Structure 1
């Protein structure tokens, strides 16, 4: 029987996880601001280094995970996540606490994921979405953690992302949170952000 080697996790599990977690928390505290996230992980494709670092920092055996079609088509991705985090991989996006999306252009409808409950808004999903690049411009947002307004760009993403963010904000305190990952960085879009139409 052939044995397939499993990709290694963090070289320094405690400190690497802390650094990754800190980067994600800063990104969520300062929405729309790209935050550096260095990772030397070599996860199975198409899972990116940065998304893998988020996974190893955020997941555990109590956090069901949903993988989009691109990721679920590679069995090594689910094996990597199960081995290093203990997180169960689920087929139903509504049952997931975290969802990993490799095909950002085909970002699923937010309504497919858990939105939380009135008494437990934290019972919602966080989507970790891989994009090719992060920058400034394109989409302007406001909300907690932003002094006035902040603009960001990310590609590829659906053209209707601002409308989705607005609909998501209208559900507050329910709704989903987004973490965009790109080579070398992460960007947070919590449910508190609202798009601003430029004059």
Structure 2
């Protein structure tokens, strides 16, 4: 079991995690832009992009919720070995990983007026990402951007709560796109 948990991490952690962090922050600063993440691959059913996100952003101080589709012994052992992140219920999570239907079934922390940063970031494992569908506007977007989203209403409600709310990463294989709470989402015309 130990060899299995050792596999899939960064081979050169200082360099690869710094590069991944820069890519992740760039994705968050440029909502809707689809990028690729590499350097790590966790056990199935985690995508490569979700694996890199977890390795880069989680540590023993960041509680994580694993939705049923990814809450398997191999993933738990891998996350524990590589990050030490504690597993928690949705209402205590700083990060959550799963499919859209699984994650929308729960209430995650959205921060408080005094501490809006104490909210969760959801890593949504999805189908292939495309620069089409929902129209995105707001900080980091020159005029408008587009991203294939599972729906628009939830993101509109989320943006209306600003400065409270959730931040999202969408992942598929090595693909990553971000949707911060500041982004205004409308349906495609």
TM interval, shorter chain, is: over 0.9
Superposition RMSD in Å: 1.8
Alignment length, in residue pairs?
188
The separation in 2 between residues aligned to 1:110 and 1:3, in whole angstroms, is: 33
Show CA shifts across 1:99-148 (max 9, x none): 011x33x2422861000010100000000111231111111011111111
**Residues 119-130 of structure 1 aligned to structure 2 (within 5 Å):** 119-130=114-125
List 4+ stretches of structure 1 deviating above 4 A. Answer: none
Where does structure 1 lack aligned partners over 5 or more consecutive residues? none
In structure 2, list runs of 5 or more residues that go unmatched: none
Identify the structure with the greater strand proportion: 1
Instruction: Look up the match of 1:14.
Output: 14
TM-score (norm 1): 0.88
Residue in 2 aligned with 1:67? 66
- Find the counterpart in structure 2 of residue 58 from structure 1: 57
Distance change in 2, residues 1:62/1:130 (3 Å):
same
Correspondence 1:43-192 to 2 at 5 A:
43-72=42-71, 74-90=72-88, 92-101=89-98, 103-104=99-100, 106-109=101-104, 112-153=107-148, 157=150, 161-192=151-182
Q: Specify whether residues 7 and 148 from structure 1 end up closer, same or farther in structure 2 by C-alpha distance, changes over 3 A only.
A: same
